[in-house]
Amino acid sequence: MNDLKQAIKQKARQLGFILAGVTSSEPPADYPIFESWLNAGMHGTMHYLAEEKNRARRSDAKLILPECKSILVLGIPYSAPASGQIASYAVGNDYHDVLPQRMRDLVDFIEQQLGHPVPNRYYTDSGPILERELGQRAGLGWIGKNTCLINPRAGSTFFLAEILLGIDLEPDEPFATDHCGSCTRCLDACPTHCILPGRVLDARRCISYLTIELKDDIPEDLRPLMQDWVFGCDICQQVCPWNRFAQPADSAFEPPIPLRVRTSDLLLKPQEFNQIFKNSPIKRPKRRGYLRNIAVATGNTGSREDLPMLNQAVDDADPMVKRHAQWAMDQINGRTNHE
């Protein structure tokens, strides 16, 4: 089976996966940590993480695929963090749309090599599994202080994907060393202080959570700390010294034209929003969330020139957009009245 494993890794590289490793189907040792995180409420309103069925499945891959004997863990690079209002992973096509087909192609290759069907399930940030621990167990890297999986030759700017397989493959050696050392750049740089000691992230304060997963009003005390981010946040990756080794993005995640946020996006109609972002991760918070985020960013960094646009947004049909646009106007007026 070792020859098969090497052939699988070679095929994975041909499909764009710069990282590939194998681990066993053993239950994750860090599952109690995940349970403690949930019990502390740090998942915020991401209730799907706490559903009993999914909690159980995260504790044992065999509850997802009873025949599971091995787990193939893959990494594929996206654009390195750069200054901008949109997290670098979201500037190209939605990885949920791109990666499943490549994993399907890899499963097809495995079945062709063996000459028979293989029980399988595959995910990319979409299934009830603890991806980062699996990545560490498969030798892809270590879990950094910013809670990202970090590879010494690729940094942390890669998507993870996993294929549960009903065949025995020799597990790779886990990544045993921690290369964060005494560095605390990510903790020091986080404007909302959501990164806690012990490699714990309080999602309720994370800008990525606030701009993507939170479907309600953003807490007023956190709005001024969000700077100009409108979808996700790269700060903890921007300051990580290991990302000087970030690999070039796979072509699927390099946009044909630069994706730019404009204050005029506050006036996007629903059909316009859906058309512009139909292949983008930015569709996840939907129009109301995206406009809410633009309003907050404009309130933090805008000027009087933005007031007419915000004034129109105050008349938006969505009450949440109205409230955040009004807040932004109040922030700008408060600043400019003291200048």
Same domain, 107 and 244: yes
- Tell me the mean pLDDT in the region 198-205: 96
| pLDDT tens-digit map of 123-157 | 999 899 999 999 999 999 999 999 999 999 999 99
* Domain contains 147: yes
| pLDDT tens-digit map of 105-124 | 999 999 999 999 999 999 99
Residue 322: domain span = 261-333
DSSP letter at 193 equals -
Q: Whole-angstrom Cα distance, residue 179 to residue 141?
A: 10
**Of the candidates 122, 120, 142, 119, the residue with the CA atom closest to the CA atom of residue 132:** 142
Give yes or no for residue 256 having a pLDDT over 90. Answer: no
Same domain, 229 and 280: no
* Domain contains 339: no
**Which of these three, 230, 257, 284, is where a domain ends?**
257
* Domain contains 271: yes
- pLDDT for 90 equals 93
Q: Whole-angstrom Cα distance, residue 169 to residue 69?
A: 8
Q: Whole-angstrom Cα distance, residue 15 to residue 200?
A: 33
Same domain, 138 and 10: yes
The helix (run of H) or strand (run of E) holding residue 301 is helix 286-301
* Domain contains 72: yes
- pLDDT for 161 equals 98
Same domain, 71 and 54: yes
| pLDDT tens-digit map of 38-58 | 999 999 999 999 999 889 999
State the pLDDT confidence band at 338, using cuts at 50, 70 and 90. low
- pLDDT for 227 equals 96
- Tell me the mean pLDDT in the region 45-73: 95
The verdict on whether 315 is a catalytic residue reads no
- How many separate domains does the chain show? 2
In this prediction the pTM is: 0.95
DSSP3 helix / strand / coil % (the chain, rounded to 5): 45, 10, 45
* Domain contains 215: yes
- Tell me the mean pLDDT in the region 269-274: 96
What is the CA angle 38-41-44, rounded to 5? 105
The catalytic residue among 97, 105, 108, 125 is 125
**Which of these three, 257, 281, 311, is where a domain ends?**
257
Same domain, 124 and 196: yes
State the pLDDT confidence band at 80, using cuts at 50, 70 and 90. confident
* Domain contains 123: yes
State the pLDDT confidence band at 295, using cuts at 50, 70 and 90. very high
Same domain, 155 and 58: yes
* Domain contains 338: no
**Which of these three, 201, 234, 257, is where a domain ends?**
257
